[in-house]
Structure formats: C-alpha cells, structure tokens
Amino acid sequence: MDRPMDAAGLRPQNEGKRAELPNGLPAPRRYFAWATVIVGLTLAVLDGTIANVALPTIAQEFNAPASASIWIVNGYQLAIAMILLPLSSLGEKFGYRWVYLIGIALFTFASIFCVAAPGLNALTVARIVQGLGAAGLMSTNAAVLRYIVPKEKFGGAIGINALVVASSATAGPAIAGFILSVANWRWLFALNIPLGLLTIALGWRSLPESHRTDHPFDWLSALYSAAAIGLLITTIDSIGHDLGWAVTLPQGVLMVLAAMALLRRSRRSARPMLPLDLLERPVFSLSVLASIAAFSAQMLAFVALPFTFQMVNGFPPAQMGLLMMPWPLALAFAAPIAGRLADKHSPAILGGIGLVLLTVGLLALGFLPKHPATWDIAWRMALCGLGFGMFQSPNNRILIGSAPLHRSGAANGMLGTARLTGQSIGAALVALLLAQFGILGAISAQFVGAALAGAAAVISLTRLAV
C-alpha cells in the first residue's frame, strides 16, 4: 500500500529516519557523510584538471594528433554538462543518496577502463562514462548537504565545498606532474579506484535519505535538456574557434529547437526538469545570471593570462603554475569565511563586494606593465581570487537555499549548469579574441572579464530589492 504524501507532494523514503533528522545529521554520522561529499567532490574536480597535463604524453603513446587527444578532457566535461539537470531530477524522484552512490560507483568503474584503455578511442569513451559518474556527484552534492548539516551551518558548509573545489583545482596539475615524473599516465586514473571504493563505503553507511517526489521521470525532457545544453556548449566553442558558419549554424539551430521543445514541455509540467518554478523566483534567477557572468569572467582570465605572461611579459612556461597560484589560494582562503558570513549577513551584499573586488583585480591585470615583478602579478591575482571567493560561497548558498527543500536537486543542477555555461562562454570568448586580435586579444580579455564581473556585481546587488 502506498504511503501518503505530505503537503508538498513528497513521499518520504523512510519516515522514521527523517523524523530523527529534522535539521541535519547527528554527530559523528554527520562528519562521515560530509567526508563522503568532500572526497567525491575532490575526485570529480581533480579528474577534470589532471588529465590536461597528461594530454601530450597520452597522444604520443597512442601516436594520435593533439587535436584528437583534447577529447579526453572535452568528453568528460561535456558529459557532465549534458546530464546535470536530468540527474538532478532523478535525485528528487529516487533520493539524492542513491544518485550520488551510483555516480561514484560509475566513476570508479570507468576509472578501471581508463587504466586499461588500449587506445585513444577506448580512453575517450571511458572518460565520457567517467563524466557521467562525476555528474552524479556534482548534481547532488549541495542538495544532499542540506540534509547533512544544520540549516544554520549550511553557508559555512557551502564555503568549505568551494574551498575543496579551489584546492583540488590548484593541486591537480601539481599532482599530475609529480605522478608523471615517477610513473605512467595510467596511474592518474588508477588512484581513483581505492579512493572511489572508500567513498562508496563511507557513503553507504552515512549518507542520509531525502524526500522523494512521486512524479514520473520525464525522459523526453531529459533528452531535450541534454541536447540543448550540449549543443549550446559546442556552438559556443565552435564560434570561439572560428570554425565557420557551415559547422556552427547547424549546431545553433538544433540547440534552439531543443531549447524550445524543452521550454514548451516544461511549461506543461507540474515539476519541470528545467526548473521554471525556481527561475520565476527573482532571487534564484538573478543568482543564476550572476553565476554565469562571474564564471565567464574567471575563465576569461584563466585561459588568457598564460598567453599574456609568456608572450607579452616574457615569463618562461615553467613559471606559469607559480604565477597562477595566488588566485586559487586566495579563493581557498576567502570561500569558507564568506560562507560562514553568509549565514548571518546578506549574501547579496557579500557577493556584490566580492565581484567589485574581482572587477578591480581584472582591471589591474589588464593594466599590468610590460615587465612586471612577480609580486606585482601576485597581488593582482590574489585580489581576483579573494573577490571570487567572497562571491561564490554566498551566491551558492542563496541559490540553493532559496529553493524549497524538495527542489534542492533542481537548484543544484542549475548551479552546475550555470558554472559550466559560464566557463564555456569565457573560454570561447578568449579563443575568439585571440583569433581576431592575436596576442592583444589576451590582454583585452581581462577588460572583457572586468565588464562581465561588473555586470555580475550589479546583478548581485539587485537581489536586495527583491
């Protein structure tokens, strides 16, 4: 016999367990569950960065062109972007715990095939499957966190998540470089296996159950969503690389058609996969827009600055990692502090201040002298990282926290989609600027990024009026 649903249309999976956990998990289970989220998130982020370093080695071993090897990275990222919203919807229906555990299991299973891949095509397929598993983690990590930590500590928890992401992204290239200096590239993926098994074991015992909705899963909307988001990213990438209208236009047309079909179907659904019910909330939609603009600004800088440092300022390639490091280090410092502040102060104001700092930092990088000292670069990069960290944690908190508890999955999916869309736009804009203006395009990218960061600051502060 079916159990009754509550007023929100939810069917709790285990009413007894949920009755014991009205506001987060009790200690020590809370810490084991939180550790599960952190380890899983670390694995997903690391695997998005460490493969970059190994691309030349992998291409050489398989005797493949560099352009083909790039799909080892692109396939992973594209798989995540395309499946985030559908997996968020599955999390609402079947529970975030199960989507998370199946995601980490798939990620670990695919890592075995990455290690054993006999050729580039097999490795690319394994990486795409690995991306699908990583999407299971990324589509639910913030949603499940709402069930793990007390409400009054949620902002701090989001800040620590941002710290983990920043630290993993910073450490990834260094870890990859060390492994490649002492072992074969396959060990980059082999390390995922014991860590993945550990995460599964921790999560199986500690991750909480969540509310479940009673609506059927909309497979057609999932198809439209994956097509629209995937084609949006490939269209932006094609424009950025100046591939011509013969390649770009068909992708753009198909993207628009898929988006229109998704929008039309979403308007007829009581619980749409594209969360129109959440996007109709001004504070939510403004947070999504601010996130897209801010991540576009960040990616503009991350992609363009190595060209500027090496080809304009004359720094050797070996120093690129050192020159880039102050940004993520400052972000890692600021994010957890801003997250805790967001529990007590306005996230809109905190985010606005952070974005103003990011704008100033990007302008300072744009006006960098031709022969700067290392410290002259470091303070500019640190200012950008400090500003982005002050924005990211409060913005993520208000974006997730403004959604009803049973719609946390949809909010989490939009958070990830906004980040990936912004990063794709930023990378495409750098490619376009470099194609049109040469090395001057790398310098002008900082000013374009500053304009986007300034626009994001206005959007963030606009939330005070809603």
Segments making up each domain of the chain, as ranges: 11-213, 219-268, 274-466
Higher pLDDT, 447 or 145: 447
> Which of 41-55, 87-101, 130-144, 366-380 is most confident?
366-380
**Phi and psi at residue 213, to the nearest 5°:** -90, 160
pTM of this structure: 0.75
Q: Per mean pLDDT, which range of 279-288, 298-307, 346-355 is the poorest?
A: 298-307
Tens of pLDDT along 452-464? 999 999 999 998 8
* Average pLDDT score over residue span 172-198: 85
Higher pLDDT, 448 or 143: 448
Integer Cα distance of 455 and 453 in angstroms: 5
> Which of 88-92, 143-147, 371-375 is most confident?
371-375
pLDDT band of 168, cuts 50, 70, 90:
confident
Computed over every residue of the chain, the mean pLDDT equals 82
Tens of pLDDT along 310-321? 888 888 866 776
* Average pLDDT score over residue span 130-136: 90
Query: Are 11-213 and 274-466 in the same CATH fold?
Result: yes
pLDDT at position 46: 82
pLDDT above 90: residue 451:
yes
Contacts for 272 with CB less than 8 Å, ≥ 6 apart: 218, 221, 265, 266
Q: What class is the 11-213 domain?
A: mainly alpha
Query: Burial of 389 by CB count in 10 Å (0-12 exposed, 13-18 middle, 19+ buried)?
Result: buried
pLDDT above 80: residue 349:
yes
Integer Cα distance of 311 and 307 in angstroms: 6
Tens of pLDDT along 360-388? 999 999 999 888 988 999 999 999 999 99
pLDDT band of 22, cuts 50, 70, 90:
low
Integer Cα distance of 318 and 464 in angstroms: 45
Contact 450, 384 (CB under 8 A): no
> Which of 166-170, 178-182, 353-357 is most confident?
353-357
Identify the CATH homologous superfamily for domain 274-466: MFS general substrate transporter like domains (1.20.1250.20)
